[in-house]
């Protein structure tokens, strides 16, 4: 699948204009990305079930690593198809959705969501925002939308369409505008993974004082800065292969499977997966987690071709270095 070409000047259209929504649906179905308003900040949305679209979002933002993305839904029923909310999650969702609360829980299997959007984790972050435009797009795609904030990585989150344009013009397909975001800070991220009770991973638009009467005492995560879960083990269920991983391998050794990149002769004598024969880092990123999972399931040792440290290569190499780290 080839994503739609990027415009040199990204258009801003009114989010309540039906023809703008038609255009957004067309772009999202084709694997492109659309910035849109939510009550918290503007998000950069793509079809969460399409790995290449998700890779396009990481690329547009210039994210230095694949941080898991929040998946946005249009109703509670769709959230239930993605994660196991449990009793606490159901209660919280009924009390706070639509609203600035993101719930992290165990992913349902099989999951329609791309492994890349979940950064290879077995958990998933899900939110039902107030934005009518976003709800409409999810319903019309019949798929959740993965959406991080619509700004270049490392810069301040955007709360107007013009902020988005200033940061990402020419890097994304479309911006939907509905004026300034009423909440203006990101959602509160609450993990339901710990059996002893909910844990705040990121403070945000839903205050602890509002949450606790509904769900009981909430623990604070050891590391409050989940916007950069960079330390290995910071996310407890961080995906690591069982196989040993050897990086920068121009050739596999005997007994190794091979994760290739770029123009490389096909090898039928070994287990071989090429991330992108074209040497396209967006395509490679979209294949990375699927490839690692597959090679891990069929081999004990994985050799990995050198991957350029440019564009999405930085994020790919970050994840590969983690996969190769001593455990
Ligand atoms: P943003 O990129 O600003 O939308 O932030 C998304 C946040 O959600 C990041 O801080 C991620 O670390 C967090 N997140 C998404 N999925 C998960 C997950 N499965 N477990 C923990 N944190 C998550
Ligand atoms: Mg952000």
User: What separation in Å is there between the alpha carbon of 289 and the centre of ligand 1?
Assistant: 17
Q: Which CATH class is domain 12-220?
A: alpha beta
Pinpoint the residues of the chain covered by CATH 3.40.50.11030. 244-324
Most ligand 1 atoms within 8 A of CB, residue of 102, 104, 199 to mutate: 104
Query: Rounded to the nearest whole angstrom, what is the distance from the C-alpha of residue 251 to the centroid of ligand 1?
Result: 36
Residue 68, ligand 1, Cβ within 6 A = yes
Q: State whether the beta carbon of 202 lies less than 6 angstroms from ligand 1.
A: yes
- If you measure from the C-alpha of residue 227 to the centroid of ligand 2, how many angstroms do you get, rounded to a whole number? 7
Tell me the best of 45, 46, 65, 70 to mutate to test the pocket of ligand 1, counting ligand atoms within 8 Å of each CB and taking the most.
70
Range(s) for CATH 3.90.870.10 in the chain?
12-220
The sheet carrying 188-191 orders its strands as 12-14, 174-177, 34-36, 43-47, 145-146, 70-72, 123-127, 101-106, 188-191, 199-202, 219-220
Centre of ligand 2 to C-alpha 163, Å, is 13
Residues with CB under 5 Å of ion ligand 2 are 149
Partners of 146 in the β-ladder = 46, 71
What is d(CA 21, CA 2) in angstroms, rounded to the nearest whole number?
21
Burial of 95 (0-12, 13-18, 19+ CB in 10 A): middle
Predicted confidence pLDDT, tens digits, the chain (327 residues): 678 999 999 999 999 999 999 999 999 999 999 999 999 999 999 999 999 999 999 999 998 888 899 999 999 999 999 999 999 999 999 999 999 999 999 999 999 999 999 999 999 999 999 999 999 999 999 999 999 999 998 888 898 999 999 999 999 999 999 999 988 888 999 999 999 999 999 888 898 889 999 999 998 776 544 444 433 334 433 457 889 999 999 999 999 999 999 998 777 889 999 999 999 988 898 888 878 878 999 999 999 999 998 878 887 888 898 889 876
Strands across the sheet with 272-274, in order? 244-246, 301-304, 257-260, 272-274
DSSP annotation of 37: -
Q: Collapsing DSSP states into helix, strand and coil, what is residue 8?
A: coil
So what CATH class is 244-324?
Answer: alpha beta
Q: Is the CB of 137 under 6 A from ligand 1?
A: no
CA distances from 16 to 37, 76, 131, 241, 287 (A): 11, 23, 11, 45, 35
Q: Give the residues across from 44 on adjacent strands.
A: 35
Q: What pTM was estimated for this model as a whole?
A: 0.85
Angstrom distance (rounded) from CA 304 to CA 317 = 10
Is residue 189 lining ligand 1, measured as CB closer than 6 Å?
A: yes
DSSP state of 87: H
């Amino acid at each position: 699948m080839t994503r739609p070409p990027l415009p040199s000047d990204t258009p801003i259209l009114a989010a309540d204009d039906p023809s703008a929504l038609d255009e957004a649906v067309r772009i999202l179905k084709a694997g492109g990305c659309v910035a849109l308003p939510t009550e918290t900040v503007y998000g950069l949305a793509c079809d969460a079930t399409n790995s290449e679209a998700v890779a396009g979002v990481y690329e547009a933002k210039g994210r230095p690593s694949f941080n898991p993305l929040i998946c946005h839904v249009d109703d509670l029923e769709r959230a239930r198809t993605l994660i196991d909310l449990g009793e606490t999650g159901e209660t919280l969702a009924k009390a706070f959705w639509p609203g600035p609360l993101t719930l992290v829980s165990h992913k349902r299997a099989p999951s329609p969501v791309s492994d890349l959007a979940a950064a290879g984790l077995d958990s998933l972050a899900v939110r039902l925002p107030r934005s009518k435009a976003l709800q409409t797009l999810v319903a019309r795609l019949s798929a959740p939308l993965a959406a991080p904030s619509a700004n270049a990585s490392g810069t301040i989150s955007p709360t107007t369409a013009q902020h988005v344009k200033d940061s990402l013009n020419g890097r994304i397909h479309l911006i939907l505008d509905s004026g300034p975001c009423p909440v203006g800070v990101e959602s509160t991220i609450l993990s339901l993974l710990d059996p002893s009770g909910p844990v705040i991973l990121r403070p945000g638009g839903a205050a602890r004082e509002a949450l606790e009467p509904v769900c009981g005492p909430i623990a604070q995560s050891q590391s409050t800065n989940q916007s950069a879960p960079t330390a290995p083990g910071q996310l407890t269920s961080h995906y690591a292969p069982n196989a040993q991983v050897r990086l920068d391998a121009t050739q596999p050794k005997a007994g190794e499977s091979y994760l290739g990149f770029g123009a490389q002769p096909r090898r039928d004598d070994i287990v071989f997966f090429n991330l992108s024969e074209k040497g396209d880092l967006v395509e490679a990123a979209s294949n990375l987690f699927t490839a690692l999972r597959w090679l891990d399931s069929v081999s004990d040792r994985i050799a990995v071709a050198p991957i350029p440290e440019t564009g999405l290569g930085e994020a790919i190499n970050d994840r590969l270095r983690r996969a190769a780290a001593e455990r």
